[in-house]
Structure 1
Amino acid sequence: MSTSASPSGRAWLLNALATVVLWGIWGAFSGLSPQHGFPETLVYCVWALTMIPPALIVLGLAKWKLDVNPRAIAYGLAVGVLGAGGQMVLFYAVTRGPAYLIFPVISLSPVVTIALSFLFMGERTGRLGAVGIALALLALPTFDFAPGGDAHGGGWLVLAVIVMLCWGLQAYFMKSANHIMSGESIFFYMTVTGLALVPVALALTDFSRPINYGLDGPALAALIQMLNAVGALTLVFAFRYGKAIIVAPLTNAGAPLATAIISLIALSVVPGPIKLVGIGLALAASLMLAIEPDAKDETTLAADA
């Protein structure tokens, strides 16, 4: 039997569900600060700072052991740059489009991961994964379907696709990195690269324009982005105590679904029928792509049985 379960037996599930809830709420309200006059570039800076406490916590729990060999550093920085770059684009996207459409698009990132794994790792997906890819390809055009004009403008879709590509590529590198370094080290390098890009975000900020430094500016941003950071911390514990083959689908599909539902309720809006179909297709695709195990996972499960 596997010994990955925690002493309490269900700690992985509690942490995974915490991640879904925290990231779902974060995604739904991540656009509030820019809407109140606090630029998205400065929201990025706040997010990078909120990553510091979780990074210190996980490193402390790992007794400050950090993988510092060149290969681990290279993988860690690649994962961090792609994650932080995706975050920077995301903060810009949520100021130009609705979260209930943006996050279902981002949830299709496993398509990128599967494609790269197929090309460079020789991995194959099963029927469920193939259906997921087909649904993803059907879903994307529906988000750009806007008869009579799109009230939000079409730019958000391009930005959402960029985030999807960044995070799909990040997952590919993270998948490889987990074979050579600890999750705590990966999280540390993600934090370091996020902080390293803060000067870029500051340089992109137009300080000549009025900036809201009140409670509904940086303070609100810190509160919302802390949900993101704490969610990342609970995800580390979820992977520590549970199997990745179970944790990944719950968080990858669950968080965007939670964001879409919370956003729709908070805004009291109902998308058009075409976009509703797109949301449904995207969420179904992300679930199928996430729960499709590769051959290595199946072998591991068989050994644990």
Structure 2
Amino acid sequence: MNTQSHWLGYALLTMVTWGVWGAFTGVPTEHGFPDTLVYAVWALTMIPPAVYAFKRAGGVLQRDPRSLALGLAIGLLGAGGQMLLFRAVKTGPAYLIFPIISLSPALTIALSFLMLRERTGRLGLLGIVLALLSLPLFDYTPGARGELGPWFMLAVAVLVAWGVQAYFIKLANATMSAESIFVYMAISAVVSIPVALAMTDFSQPVNLGWNGPWLAAVIQVLNSIGALALVHAFRHGKAIVVSPMVNAGAPLLTAVIAMAVAGAMPGPFKMAGVALALLAALLLALQPEGAEVKA
């Protein structure tokens, strides 16, 4: 299997798992299971893939200072971004927050371009542009207005956290095994559970039935598997290609599934996002390895 098929296979696995996850992740919350507890369940679902990764690495976890710093930074940026998102959606409009956060791949691309000297060909460059254009359209609400408040800075902080996290994943892959990176991600997620519990309003009823934590576990394990595949995609592929492809492709699949479940057509902006994401994913997949536009 060549290098391109390696990263593409892992990227497609992430797109599929995250796409299905995105379509159903809100269901437990709709049934009275808080988002913060969904986080706790997700963190626990990171454990089985982490155990698998640890065994695949021969039971060896890289513990040198660089690996420890990068691994924990990657994990805490992901977990911290999720915590900030909980706070943002409590104080601000989700229809403005999510389009802002969706631009995190732009930061990953900029950092990879400037710091790692990554380049791609004309097809890849066009795919990146179309992917970035598609992302805000999935959550864009025409005519929606909201006054800037603390939520705006929180949304920007999430954008930065997740954009830098993806860059660090690519950077870490140069000296760390993908398995060690993911184990550190899982450790960071689990140790952050007390923060999520502290943010939970237990004065409100919490659904502990099958459509609460148990359904959340089934859905969130897709997120965890996708995260493991993403680490491998970054290992074999360029961040400037993998990041926009995954972040455009997953919402594309989510939108298609949501349309099928609801039996309704989305508005023109979401349809435009779907079309751009589909074309972007195709161009990024077709871009030959080694063909680069000179800077």
Percentage of pairs with the same residue? 51
- Match for residue 190 of structure 1? 185
Q: 1:216: Cα distance to partner? A: 1.2
Aligned residue runs from structure 1 range 94-173, under 5 A: 108-123=103-118, 127=122, 128-129=124-125, 132-133=128-129, 136=132, 140=136, 143-147=139-143, 163-173=158-168
CA change 1:107–1:125 in 2 (3 A) is farther
Q: 1:199: Cα distance to partner? A: 0.8
The answer as to 2:293 corresponding to 1:298 is no
- How many Å separate the matches in 1 of 2:117 and 2:233? 28
The answer as to 2:61 corresponding to 1:53 is no
Q: 1:80: Cα distance to partner? A: 0.7
In the alignment of these two chains, the number of paired residues is 284
Map Cα deviations across residues 247-270 of structure 1 (whole Å, 9 max, x no partner): 937645432321121122222333
- Match for residue 181 of structure 1? 176
The answer as to 2:261 corresponding to 1:266 is yes
CA change 1:160–1:119 in 2 (3 A) is same
The answer as to 2:55 corresponding to 1:63 is no
| 2:81 maps to which of 82, 86, 101 | 86
Structure 2 unpaired stretches of 5+: none
Helix, strand or coil for the counterpart of 1:132? helix
Q: 1:16: Cα distance to partner? A: 5.2
Structure 1 unpaired stretches of 5+: 301-305
| 2:290 maps to amino acid | E
RMSD: 4.2
The answer as to 2:15 corresponding to 1:20 is yes
Map Cα deviations across residues 227-264 of structure 1 (whole Å, 9 max, x no partner): 22233345566678xx4259937645432321121122
| 1:196 maps to amino acid | V
| 1:244 maps to which of 237, 243, 263 | 237
TM (norm. structure 1) is: 0.74
CA change 1:281–1:18 in 2 (3 A) is closer
Moved more, 191-200 or 76-85: 76-85
Q: 1:21: Cα distance to partner? A: 2.6
- How many Å separate the matches in 2 of 1:257 and 1:123? 26
CA change 1:191–1:250 in 2 (3 A) is same
Does the CA contact (< 8 Å) of 1:86 and 1:163 recur in 2?
Answer: yes
Helix, strand or coil for the counterpart of 1:298? coil
Q: 1:25: Cα distance to partner? A: 1.1
TM (norm. structure 2) is: 0.76
- How many Å separate the matches in 1 of 2:207 and 2:156? 29
- How many Å separate the matches in 2 of 1:208 and 1:189? 33
Moved more, 184-193 or 109-118: 109-118
